[in-house]
Amino acid sequence: MKKTIQRRQFIGTSLVAGAAVTLAGGALLRSGAALADNVAGWPAKAFDAKALDQAMAASVGKNNVPVSPKVKLTAPTIAENGGAVPVTIEIDSPMTADDYVSTVWLFVDHNPTPLASQFDLTPGLGAAYFQQRIKMAKTDNVRVIAKTSKGEFMASAPREVKVTIGGCGG
Amino acid sequence: MADNIGNPMIRMANSAKKGEMVEVRSLIMNPMTTGLTKDKEGKPIPAHFIQTVSVTFDGAKLLDIDWSTAVSANPYLAFKMRAEKSGTLKMVWKDNQNGVWSAESKLTVS
């Protein structure tokens, strides 16, 4: 926890220092990440963001992404246990070398840190289909954003899950 | 807390026809703690969670996943891949406390 606080302080410092020293801030972030033993390449800034718009800006790079029926997100309407909510992501894509889904982001709007997962795909995978279980702090919206190799962004419709017992204890 | 950790598993068909979609299901034991909670004595429980999962097929990159603390304890992950050729699927999980685990599964494509 102490190490995490140090990392947060580094982020704070780099934010205060402003855009002019973004590179230096990045270096600090990396050294902070080393203290916290973050895995190399793990996008700490996006995962540490505490509000949905900040998390989206730090990952997707924008906040307004049009909803597309090609991005399907399945989740239960009611989850008794917010500690393990099953979600299925399925994106309609040819997954060929010149037209494939390159990145998928999964968000929970009001979790303490809204970005839950990021998937980086290659065309060799052949399908954009994922299933996993996530924690939800309370009744909230889950949403998916996908980026294609052509630079196109598509969002799922936000999907509300009613949570009976929040999953933050886990 | 960390007495039950690791033990990665992959479940998938061991043979498929070329072009067929194969579902890969995986499971690994990890507490996936957020760092935001406290134990019974009021001491903070440090964040301990898997941050990356990488999937390769015969050494070629297929999929890289980054996880946050919002992924449930003992993470389950399923995905689909297109069977193109026979080979070995390998998954590597890494957590924020230098834990690294891997598992492999062979696929024969006809």
Question: What are the extents of the domains in chain B?
Answer: 6-109
Candidate from A39, A83, A170 with C-beta closest to B52: A39
Q: With left for phi above 0 and alpha for psi between -120 and 50, is residue A80 left, alpha or beta?
A: alpha
- CB contact, 8 Å: B82 with chain A? yes
In chain A, which among 29-58 make CB contacts under 8 A with chain B? 36-39, 41-43, 47
Domains and CATH numbers, chain A: 2-59 (no CATH), 71-165 (2.60.40.2470)
Strands of the sheet containing B76-82, edge to edge, are A71-74, A85-91, A128-134, B76-82, B21-29, B6-11
Low-confidence winner among A101-115, B13-27, B31-45 (lowest mean pLDDT): B31-45
pLDDT by residue (tens digit) across A65-116?
Answer: 999 999 999 999 999 999 999 999 999 999 999 999 999 999 999 999 999 9
Low-confidence winner among A20-24, A37-41, A58-62 (lowest mean pLDDT): A20-24
Q: Can you tell me whether residue B100 is helix, strand or coil?
A: strand
- Contact (Cβ atoms closer than 8 angstroms) between residue A55 and residue B66: no
- CB contact, 8 Å: B35 with chain A? yes
Q: What DSSP string runs through B38-61? A: B-TTSPBPPPB-EEEEEEEETTEE
pLDDT bracket for residue A19 (50, 70, 90): very low
The average pLDDT across A132-144 equals: 97
Query: Chains A, B: CB contacts under 8 A, how many?
Result: 131
DSSP state of B50: E
Q: Does residue A131 surpass a pLDDT of 80?
A: yes
- CB contact, 8 Å: B96 with chain A? yes
pLDDT at A36: 56
pLDDT at A43: 97
pLDDT at A2: 46
The ipTM value here is 0.95
The average pLDDT across B28-34 equals: 96
Percent of chain A clearing pLDDT 70 (strictly above) = 77
pLDDT bracket for residue B4 (50, 70, 90): confident
- Pairwise CB contact (< 8 Å): A113 & B76: no
> What span, in angstroms and rounded, lies between the C-alpha atoms of A2 and A169?
19
pLDDT at A167: 75
- Contact (Cβ atoms closer than 8 angstroms) between residue B2 and residue B48: yes
Can you name the residues that pair with A115 across neighbouring β-strands?
Answer: A107
- CB contact, 8 Å: B93 with chain A? no
Domain B6-109, CATH homologous superfamily name and number: Immunoglobulins (2.60.40.10)
Q: Does residue A25 surpass a pLDDT of 50?
A: no
Q: What DSSP string runs through A124-162? A: GG--EEEEEEE--SSSEEEEEEEEETTS-EEEPPPEEEE
A156 CB burial (10 A radius; 0-12, 13-18, 19+):
buried
- CB contact, 8 Å: B90 with chain A? no
**Chain-wide mean pLDDT for chain A?**
85
pLDDT by residue (tens digit) across B54-84?
Answer: 999 999 999 999 999 999 999 999 999 999 9
